[in-house]
Amino acid sequence: MGSLREIETRIKSTKKTSQITKAMQMVSASKLNRAEVNAKAFVPYMEKVQEVAASIAAGTDASHPMLESRPVKKTGYIVITADRGLCGGYNANVIRKVANMIDERHSSKEDAMILAIGRKGYEYFSKRGYNVVDSVIGVSDHPSFAEINDIASLAVGMFTDGTYDELYMYFTHYASIIEHVVTEEKVLPLTDIAKKDTELSSYEFEPSGEAILKVLLPQYAESLIFGALLESKASEHASSMTAMKNATDNAGELIDSLTLQFNRARQAAITQEITEIIGGVAALE
């Protein structure tokens, strides 16, 4: 048991830490509200683009490289993580998933080409010798498409020109405040763009289906990446809020424990002083 002054110092420092984590929890909660709205608002647009692209692809004989499978020699991986920590296992779960899949699929790290969105993923894979071909760091808490336009276009372009033969992305799907699922989604090729049991609309297009698909398919693939980023941001803020709440609760429990320890130490000191006084009086008598 430490001295009274040591225990009191720990109580004060823990209270200050609790105030900081409480403030961070409130900030993350505020960011989460807007991030959740952004993620949900983007879904109807993405679904409509998919429906139109699938309808045109099914209703015409036009071909496009993004719709065709080819033998896989190299694979592209878009990895979406955060720039900061203090958000529980949010970053570690995504990184672990990607690293495991690369180990399973490839005998050489050079066959896996990584495009990292977020500092944590970029630092992990670049420091361990993975083939990181591009990265975006410093994405805002409520990102716009302009922030990832270059890397999204590069990811699609590298598939189209044959740099790699398939493209996956790994992100954290936002299900609810307490449920975030690390998700693997195949972006390219778009061999399953038409969902099963979905009735496709009939479109008349001008000038040709091939010309429309040439413009629409890259936009759809890029919208998948942006939608994943929006979901990841919502998951990041929810994870941060939960982590800070747990830290605040733990700090409260520690303060209670230290306060009890302080009271016991103080009571022991008082008892010791009383005993010494009584002993002194008895000696004088």
Q: Are strands 75-80 and 166-174 parallel, antiparallel or unpaired?
A: parallel
Widest pairwise Cα distance in the chain: 116
- 87 in active site: yes
Selection from 184, 163, 189 nearest residue 110 by Cα: 163
Burial status of residue 165 (CB atoms within 10 A of its CB: 0-12, 13-18, 19 or more): middle
Give the helix/strand (H/E) hosting 270.
helix 209-284
User: Which DSSP string corresponds to 196-265?
Assistant: TT-PPP----SS-HHHHHHHHHHHHHHHHHHHHHHHHHHHHHHHHHHHHHHHHHHHHHHHHHHHHHHHHH
Indicate which residue of 35, 79, 87, 224 is catalytic.
Answer: 87
Enzyme catalytic residues? 87
